[in-house]
């Protein structure tokens, strides 16, 4: 809708202009401060210029009026234009709010170590990434999602050691000496029990078998992680193994050396990342010849850039903020454009239950499991919560709030608006397609504002995606639901003289709610 409005204004005004939405729709649906910038050029009052411009919009299908208010030019769109846009959306719902952008994007998110189930901190980045992916796809971007499996290095070794020693202590009755670091929690005991039943006891007699046990445990944890993600309606296009990428480490290191990015000192190999804005240089090869954690990221990003996307987005936990400069430095030294990489940070989450801190999971040790929260409040509520606030700000919420079946629960409030519309159609004995072709005329202000608001979803999605502020989508859905509930309480719909027109407006509201929820990974409810 906004695109058409801009095109219509551009046909009459051969100047660049900003199009805004007034807070009070009684002034107009759109406004521009163009007259103020032209006043400096033409040395005339902005009020006079605005009045002159308004005369160019006396007739037309798109605009009902163009008026000047203190130099601002305010446009009201016509009933017939809103009717046309609504009819198109209703008759082809799958295309509503879709667009086309000729940009390819590789989106990486979650990438949790496969050493345990996902915790609530992982969930925030997972939900945010999946919804960014869904919206990007809907807007026509060539976007792919990817999970980087951190299956190389010390954490996988520790998983093997933890399973090996747990089996010996818990199931073979042997005394063991635990290292300073190891994985604990009931999930490790359960996994050890499974290993004890699956493997011959000989495997637990010799530490040389720990790598085999670690690989087995990693695959079991990856399966569990995928189940956790599936339960939250999250899937990935690609899973990339860090371990498999290490086969290319020497090749990648050679590229860095050729660009002059590496020097040796104290028996280690260092990346000159301080030359690219990092606070200091970073070790990429230890004294014993083993690559560091950073080396894995360098190989992975070399692999990413070799695949030739236009843009790369990483969603990392806030604790990875310090890695941004060093990874971008490596990308630069590898000969790529580091500005094509965008890193978004997901802050931590604090959970409450009845005003008190949510209990840590016994199964997981010292953190809250994502699966426990999904079991308690459902996937829809979890997704809505994590999208309701900017991902780079701290989030605190009380799970009990999302069990309430009233307006205090925002997801219930939005779902109820959608179910209410379905109920209205049932009461009227009609289906939405029965009113698609109804011609909307002489809409009152409330009906017109409701219809206009329901047609704003395309620009809300574009804004949310471009700014990466996905909270704008649930905010929009909450405001649209509130507007509809107010409308329902104020107006008779079934049995009204213009019932079909009001049903058509209601159907458009339902389409926007349904589409918006779908892009948040939530299915709209038809009965409640």
Q: Where are the domains of the chain?
A: 2-77, 104-151+234-346, 154-231, 406-519
In the structure, what pLDDT confidence band is assigned to residue 465 with cuts at 50, 70 and 90? very high
Rounded CA separation 232/348 (Å): 18
Tens of pLDDT, residues 158-194? 999 999 999 999 999 999 999 999 998 899 999 999 9
pLDDT greater than 80 at residue 76: yes
Q: Which two tokens stand for residue 438?
A: 């109804």
Contact 238, 146 (CB under 8 A): yes
**41-47 own/partner pairs: CB under 8 Å, 24+ apart:** 45/71, 46/71, 47/71
Percentage above 90 pLDDT, the chain: 77
CATH class held by domain 406-519:
mainly alpha
pLDDT band at 362 (very low <50, low <70, confident <90, very high): low
Averaged pLDDT of the chain: 93
Mean pLDDT calculated for residue range 6-20: 87
pLDDT in tens, 114-171: 999 999 989 999 999 999 999 999 999 999 999 999 998 889 999 999 999 999 999 9
pLDDT of amino acid 32: 93
* Other CB atoms within 10 A of residue 186 CB: 12
CATH of 2-77, one of 3.30.2350.10, 3.40.720.10, 3.20.20.70, 3.30.1360.70: 3.30.1360.70
Residues written for the chain:
528
C-alpha distances in Å from residue 147, one per residue of 18, 151, 281, 463: 39, 12, 28, 26
For the chain, counts of helices (H) and of strands (E): 19, 14
Answer whether residue 441 shows pLDDT above 80: no
- Categorize the per-residue pLDDT at 364 as very low, low, confident or very high, splitting at 50, 70 and 90: low
**What is the rounded average pLDDT of the residues 56-72?**
85
CATH architecture of 104-151+234-346: 3-Layer(aba) Sandwich (3.40)
- The single residue listed with the structure tokens 């005004």 is 13
Q: Give the residue ranges of DSSP H helices in 379-471.
A: 379-387, 410-428, 445-454, 457-467
Q: Give this prediction's pTM.
A: 0.93
Instruction: Quickly count: other Cβ atoms within 10 Å of residue 18's Cβ.
Output: 9
Nearest 5 degrees, angle CA 187-CA 123-CA 226? 55
Same fold, 2-77 and 406-519: no
Q: Is the pLDDT of residue 442 over 80?
A: no
């Amino acid at each position: 809708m906004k695109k058409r409005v801009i095109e219509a204004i551009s046909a009459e005004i051969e100047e660049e202009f900003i199009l805004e939405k007034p807070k009070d729709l009684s002034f107009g649906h759109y406004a521009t401060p163009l007259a103020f910038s032209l006043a400096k050029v033409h040395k005339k009052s902005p009020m006079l210029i605005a009045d002159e411009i308004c005369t160019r919009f006396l007739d037309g299908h798109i605009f009902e009026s163009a008026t000047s208010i203190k130099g601002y030019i305010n446009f009201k769109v016509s009933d017939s234009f809103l009717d046309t846009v609504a009819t198109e959306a209703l008759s082809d719902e799958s295309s509503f709010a879709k667009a086309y952008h000729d940009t390819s994007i590789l989106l990486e998110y979650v990438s949790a170590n496969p050493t345990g189930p996902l915790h609530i901190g992982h969930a925030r980045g997972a939900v945010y990434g999946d919804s960014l992916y869904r919206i990007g796809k809907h807007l026509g971007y060539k976007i792919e999602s990817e999970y980087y499996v951190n299956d190389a290095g010390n954490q996988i070794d520790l998983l093997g050691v933890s399973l090996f020693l747990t089996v010996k202590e818990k199931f073979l009755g042997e005394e063991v000496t635990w290292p300073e670091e190891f994985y604990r929690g009931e999930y490790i005991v359960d996994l050890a029990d499974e290993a004890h039943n699956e493997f011959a006891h000989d495997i637990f007699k010799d530490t040389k078998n720990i790598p085999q046990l670690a690989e087995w445990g990693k695959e079991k944890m990856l399966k569990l992680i995928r189940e956790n993600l599936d339960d939250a309606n999250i899937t990935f296009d690609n899973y990339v193994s860090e371990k498999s990428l290490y086969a290319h480490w020497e090749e990648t290191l050679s590229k860095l050396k050729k660009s002059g990015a590496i020097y040796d000192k104290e028996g280690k190999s260092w990346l000159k990342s301080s030359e690219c804005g990092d606070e200091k240089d970073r070790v990429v090869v230890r004294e014993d010849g083993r690559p560091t954690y950073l080396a894995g990221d360098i190989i992975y990003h070399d692999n990413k850039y070799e695949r030739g996307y236009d843009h790369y987005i990483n969603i990392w936990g806030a604790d990875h903020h310090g890695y941004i400069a060093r990874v971008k430095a490596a990308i630069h030294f590898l000969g790529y454009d580091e500005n094509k990489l965008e890193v978004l940070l997901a802050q931590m989450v604090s959970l409450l239950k009845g005003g008190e801190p949510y209990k840590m999971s016994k199964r997981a040790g010292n953190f809250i499991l994502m699966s426990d929260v999904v079991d308690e409040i459902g996937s829809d509520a979890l997704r809505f919560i994590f999208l309701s606030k900017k991902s780079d700000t701290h989030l605190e919420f009380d799970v009990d709030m999302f069990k309430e079946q009233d307006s205090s629960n925002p997801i219930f409030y939005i779902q109820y608006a959608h179910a209410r519309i379905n109920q209205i159609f049932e009461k009227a004995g009609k289906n939405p397609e029965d009113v698609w072709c109804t011609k909307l005329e002489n809409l009152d202000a409330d009906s017109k504002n409701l219809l206009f608001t329901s047609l704003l979803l395309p620009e809300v999605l574009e804004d949310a995606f471009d700014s990466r502020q996905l909270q704008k989508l649930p905010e929009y859905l909450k405001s649209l639901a509130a507007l509809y509930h107010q409308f329902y309480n104020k107006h008779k719909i079934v049995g009204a003289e213009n019932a079909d027109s009001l049903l058509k407006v209601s159907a458009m509201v339902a389409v926007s709610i349904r589409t918006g929820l779908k892009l948040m990974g939530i299915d709209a409810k038809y009965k409640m």
